[in-house]
Amino acid sequence: MRSVTVRVPAADLASEMVVMREWLDLNQCEPTRFDCGKNGAEVVLFVAFSSGVAAEGFARCFGGECGASASVQGSFALTAK
């Protein structure tokens, strides 16, 4: 399982979640876990995937950080933020 941490300004959370859902649907990915917490004016999202390729694609698209050290190459659609 690979995890991704994404930081989003709290004011943009709703619109970012819509774009994330669209990306997940487009790439036929389902997170295995989703948690969030607030850190000042930002929301920190923790999203876990069973596929390292999915995690890497999600991190690339949303400016996130992968929890595993190895980089995985994959072909996932990027959507505009």
**pLDDT of amino acid 27:** 95
Predicted confidence (pLDDT) per residue in 30-43, tens digit = 999 999 999 899 99
Buried b (16+ CB within 10 A) or exposed e, 43-73: bebbbbbebbbbbbbbbebbebebeeeeeee
**pLDDT of amino acid 67:** 83
Give the pLDDT band of residue 68 (cuts 50, 70, 90).
low
Mean pLDDT, the chain, as a whole number?
Answer: 86
What is 2-66's CATH topology? Answer: Alpha-Beta Plaits (3.30.70)
Domains of the chain by residue range:
2-66
